[in-house]
Amino acid sequence: MTRNPNASWRHTLVRLLNLLGVVAALLLIASISFEAFSNTAFSGDAVYDQIQFGVCVYFSLDFLLQLILAPDRLRFFARNFVLIILSVPYAYLLGYFSVDLSSEAFYVIHFLPIVRGGFALAILVKMAVNSFLSGLLIIYLAIFFAIGYFQTLIFYAFEAGTNPMVKSYADVLWWASMTVTTVGSNIIPMTAVGKICTAVLAVVGMTTFPIFTAYITALVHGINEKQKQSLVEKPDRV
């Protein structure tokens, strides 16, 4: 069967665009992490806003280019319209128009464009992994660790300096590990955002771990079925 060279070229270009989208999201994550660890999350520093603006411009151009390359543009736009919403540089625009929001609200808004990078990662995994179950597991793992990491950053930014139990990021990691496994932590959040983070992380743990269990069960079942099939097909030896 002859492969359409145009389709192959489009597939390669879409994969490259999504790879660059993941890299752009990692740049935003690195910037947010630096803000949190350097205790400048609420300082109003414009460096991250400029980085976010540049990355969001790329996301918008990426969406436009993929729309042009799509065989059915109307269907692509309808199915991926949310990507446009996630590509808006909200923090930059709110600062530019001097919208009166608390520094804490601005900090949380910083995380919105990173979700756009998550969509790019999901598309990349779907393209690269042939097995549906393996691809789904990779996506769930990425979502699990991303949400967990972002929750620790937000919790650290809001609780450090307010909560006497949070003296370092290591304390937050302990809180996260105990919360996500639903064991419970001795670190009790004192801010409203910290309480929300605790609830979200507990829900993520309760909903994600059963998925891992189901995947392992399906994997073991598949191996057993292959072994049984090989024994049936193996000729009897005299």
Stretch 39-50: mean pLDDT, rounded?
Answer: 62
Check whether 47 has a pLDDT greater than 70. Answer: no
Cα of first residue to Cα of last residue in the chain, in angstroms, is: 44
Mean pLDDT of the chain: 78
Cα–Cα distance measured from residue 25 to residue 53, given in angstroms and rounded to the nearest whole number: 12
CB 15 within 8 A of CB 127: yes
Cα distance between residue 91 and residue 54, in whole Å? 12
DSSP SS3 for 89 = coil
pLDDT of amino acid 175: 93
Task: Look at residue 207 and tell me whether its pLDDT is greater than 60.
Answer: yes
Is there a contact between 190 and 163 (Cβ–Cβ < 8 Å)? Answer: yes
Share of the chain above pLDDT 90, in %: 5
- pLDDT at res. 14: 75
In DSSP notation, 149-168 reads: HHHHHHHHHHHTTT-TT--S
pLDDT band at 238 (very low <50, low <70, confident <90, very high): very low
What span, in angstroms and rounded, lies between the C-alpha atoms of 145 and 166? 21
Cβ contacts of residue 88 below 8 Å, gap of 6+? 56, 112, 113
Among the listed residues 150, 148, 189, the one whose alpha carbon sits nearest the alpha carbon of residue 36: 150
Per-residue pLDDT tens digits for 71-92: 888 998 888 888 888 788 877 7
- pLDDT at position 39 over 70: no
* Structure letter (DSSP) for residue 83: H
Mean pLDDT, rounded, for 223-229: 75
Q: Does residue 8 or residue 84 have the better pLDDT?
A: 84
- pLDDT band, very low/low/confident/very high, at 220 (cuts 50, 70, 90): confident
pLDDT for 128 equals 64
Cβ–Cβ contacts within 10 Å for residue 198, how many? 20
Helix (H, G, I), strand (E, B) or coil at 129: coil
43: which DSSP letter? S
pLDDT in tens, 142-195: 778 888 888 888 898 888 888 999 988 889 999 999 888 878 788 899 988 889
pLDDT attached to residue 1: 45
Residue 115: pLDDT band (50, 70, 90) is confident
CATH pick for 132-233 out of 1.10.287.70, 3.30.428.10, 3.40.50.150, 3.40.30.10: 1.10.287.70
The least confident of 30-34, 89-93, 132-136 is 132-136
The structural domains of the chain, with segments of one domain joined by +, span: 1-128, 132-233
